[in-house]
A = this chain, B = another copy of it.
Amino acid sequence: MSLSLNQKTINRATLPEAVEACARAGIEAIGVWREPLADAGLERGAKLVRDAGLRVSSLCRGGFLTGDDREAALADNRRAIDEAAALGTDTLVLVVGGLPPGSRDLAGARERVADGIAVLAPYAGAAGVRLALEPMHPIYCADRGVLSTLDQALDLAARFPAEQVGVVVDTFHVWWDPRLDAAIARAAGRIASYQVCDWITPLPPDALLARGLPGDGHIDFRTLGAAVSAAGYRGDVEVEIFNADVWAAPIDDVVADVVRRYQEHVTP
């Protein structure tokens, strides 16, 4: 496994700036987000990353399959699959979506996700892209992602070929799960992405930005990473941090800190 910088960690950087920051810090892989990729232009962005010799560990993100406009959501996800293929990554991270506005039908929302994945999986497979289902911390169940545990994501992924649908293991989202060890072992062959991010307390006021750099919080990354490795995962390890303070800091400082934290807290 080796370090990949998820672009969200340096949220205000353009794609060219992010690529340059990786090069300066000697980071060999990057997790790209669709919005800055669109800003750079798909072809130009893809060339930029390729010319810099960077691996693209994932494209973030598709999903949001629970809303009422199903066709629009599917069309957007097909575009995201095409973008991932053009960018040369085999991994498209999916945040599946929360409850539709005004709905309390959690089981129904989860069915919508399964229905959407059934439509998209063959399309992704044909493009050489794997849909990476991201179970999200239950704090986001209502408004972001109704996939709440790794087991639940694996239950859904298991309906499809492993080359079409995998899962994301993001420490922030799954660290609390009493069944995590068994779920990670069960995920062998299905882990499409491994992301690290710490759980900090007290939780910052904005729950969407409540994430810390490894070492700032409560997660034991070595133990968790060993389980992911024992499940056969050999891909990149994305450091992905949503945090207002991190986003406000100078980009090169953040990247240097990411490298240091990775070495101190994440590497085996």
- Bound state CA distance, A152 and B181, in angstroms? 14
Q: Which residues of B contact A203 (CB under 8 A)?
A: 139, 207
A250 CB within 8 Å of chain B:
no
B138 near A201 with CB under 8 A, answer: no
Copies of this chain present: 2
Give 1 or 0 for each of A201-225: 1 = CB within 8 Å of chain B CB.
1110111000000000111100000
CB distance from A59 to the nearest CB of B (A): 26
A217 touches B142 (CB 8 A): yes
Interface status of A199 (Cβ within 8 A of chain B):
yes
The total of chain A residues at the interface (CB under 8 A) is: 31
**Complex-state Cα separation, A148 to B99, whole angstroms:** 22
The contact of A177 among B148, B199, B217, by CB within 8 Å, is: B148
Chain B residues near A137: list those with CB within 8 A: 138-139
Binding site for B on A (CB under 8 A): 99, 104-106, 110, 137-139, 141-143, 148-149, 151-152, 175-179, 199, 201-203, 205-207, 217-220
Q: Which residues does chain B contribute within 8 Å of A138, judged by CB atoms?
A: 137-139, 176-177
When chains A and B are docked, how far (Å) is the Cα of A234 from the Cα of B91?
49
Residue among A99, A104, A110, A202 facing the most chain B CB atoms (10 A cut-off): A104
